[in-house]
Structure 1
Amino acid sequence: MNPADAIPASFADRALFEPIAAWLGRFAAPGVPIHAELDALLAQAAPAARSGDGAAIRFVLPAGDVEGYEARIFASGEVPTRSGDWHDFFNALAWCAWPRTKAACNRLHLAELHARTAAGLPGRGPRRDALTQFDECGIVVVSADTEFPALLAAHEWEEALWTRRARLLQSTRFLVFGHGTWDQLRAPFVGLCAKALFRVVDPAWLALPAAQALAETDAWLAAHLTANIDTLTPRSLSPLPLLGIPGVTADNECAAYYRDTRQFRPRRRTTPSAPPT
């Protein structure tokens, strides 16, 4: 990795960092900000950020049992954040960009935990597994063209990302939610994949200022996850090869790139396509 990549601001202009680009640009020194700087940033970017139980969010050093991570956030608003850790730094920025959805995920985690405990069921269960997957590597594909969510869900990669590229760029936005995905995008690798939810919007949405479009999508996503929690499983999230998205790598500027089945695998018959919402 280039030494400049150790500077948060060096990622601000890269594709797929758009939801957090404005905040990345503030940190031009090597390394990630300390807890006090993250708290100050959240207070400015998302002053109403709360846990699933309504506690004000702040970033603290990890302590205690890792299995109590969501419970700690829910009860106290304290988000365990390792010093100097890029993964946890991006999680803090996710709270800045997606405060409603992060709170909804925290609330849904605790509701599912209590429900399974009351029912005597072991383990985390598929709903919590899906919430964690989306928290780590989720992406919202927002399109004013109903064909693109359908094509991507069907793994029609070359058709969606190359043949119809001009229409894709005009009609569709890729908004990363998962903080683990941002961490991996610091040094992208062949096969890097996100878990997608699809949203179809009116074309007027595309003209919204970026901050307004993000806030509106945050509200939609929080409501969508809450309304669909009963059917949420890891298999309900659609895989999306990130290096195929225009602008992520110069390598994808040709049709042959999308014929590499290491990344662009056809959909298995047993894998359900995620329908547009």
Structure 2
Amino acid sequence: MQYWPEPNELNKLCSMSNQQIYTRSGKSILFIPQVIVKHHHGQSYESRIFLTGQVQTRTNNWHDFFNALVWKILPRAKSALNQLHYQAQLSELAIKAENRCKLRDAVTLFDESGVIIISSHELLIRLIKGFKWKELFWRQRTTVLSSMRFFVFGHGIYEKALNPFIGMTGKAIIFKVKEDFFLQDLFNQLHSVDLMLEQFLLSRLSFSADLTPIPLLGYPKWDANNCHESYYENKEYFRDRRQ
């Protein structure tokens, strides 16, 4: 990138669109330069966001840049995820846990690698859950393009997509919707996704196993090479479900 926005310019981006983003503790999200802080409760990265609204953001850093954009695009889901981080950290501190709890593992995994899959076809959803990748992406290709969308959430995935590679895998949450979802413009689709994801995160996410692995480059046209049937025969990438 030839020009990197400063944290304050990211804040202006939100204000220009008349968008005010809040944490679930009621604090306004404010992107600030990264500062060195002690890593105890109240000053860790996620706790600081929850308690103050301050999101430490490095300039000249793709990871933090994409994180800021996800805050803007899916703010309610991001706020829900931040609350889960905070609550999980409180639980760990209460029992003096040496390792992250299973909830925080799941939250971290989705924050970095999350993908939201939207489809109006039960068959397509079954194929994903059954790891039937060739049937899904090749034989049902036309239906996938018309009736299934992948929305990338994880800022780590966005960073990897700068130099995509076979093996790039997302961790998905899947929602079945009515066909008219796809008649909405992108703005309204994202708003609907934000609301659905917020509810799921706050009520249903508990373990990393709640997330479905998805070989992202299998989605039609996301890799120029996947226009050939043989592309989907790579079992190192398009893996079968473990028995």
TM-score tier (shorter): over 0.9
For residues 196 and 17 of structure 2, the distance between their equivalents in structure 1, rounded to whole angstroms, comes to 19
Pairing of 1:212-231 with structure 2 (within 5 A): 212-229=188-205
Instruction: Render the CA deviation track for 1:209-252: whole Å, top value 9, x for unaligned.
Output: 110110111011001110113xx211221111111111211100
Matched, 1:57 2:29: yes
SS at match of 2:31: strand
- TM-score norm. by structure 2 comes to 0.94
Shift of 1:45: 4.2
Match of 2:228 among 234, 250, 254: 254
Matched, 1:44 2:12: no
What one-letter code is carried by the residue in structure 2 that aligns with 1:254?
H
For residues 150 and 16 of structure 2, the distance between their equivalents in structure 1, rounded to whole angstroms, comes to 25
Contact 1:133 1:234 in 2 (8 A): yes
- TM-score norm. by structure 1 comes to 0.83
Match of 1:24 in 2: none
Give the direction of change, closer, same or farther, for the CA distance of 1:149–1:45 in structure 2 (3 Å limit).
Answer: farther
Cα RMSD, aligned residues only: 1.4
Match of 1:168 in 2: 144
Match of 1:33 in 2: 5
Shift of 1:202: 0.6
Match of 2:207 among 201, 222, 233: 233
For residues 191 and 92 of structure 1, the distance between their equivalents in structure 2, rounded to whole angstroms, comes to 25
SS at match of 2:143: helix
Shift of 1:133: 0.7
Shift of 1:254: 1.2
What one-letter code is carried by the residue in structure 2 that aligns with 1:38?
L
Contact 1:244 1:252 in 2 (8 A): yes
Matched, 1:264 2:235: no
Match of 2:113 in 1: 137
Contact 2:134 2:233 in 1 (8 A): yes
Pairing of 1:58-97 with structure 2 (within 5 A): 58-63=30-35, 64-65=37-38, 68-97=44-73
Matched, 1:245 2:211: no
Instruction: Render the CA deviation track for 1:83-122: whole Å, top value 9, x for unaligned.
Output: 1101100000000101000100111111122223334443
Match of 1:180 in 2: 156
Shift of 1:42: 2.1
Contact 1:171 1:203 in 2 (8 A): yes
Specify every segment of 5 or more residues in structure 1 that has no aligned partner in the other structure, as ranges.
1-5, 7-29, 270-277
* Structure 1 ranges of 4+ moved more than 3 A: 119-122
SS at match of 2:117: strand
Contact 1:32 1:86 in 2 (8 A): no
Give the direction of change, closer, same or farther, for the CA distance of 1:46–1:228 in structure 2 (3 Å limit).
Answer: farther
**Percent identity for Structure 1 against Structure 2:** 34
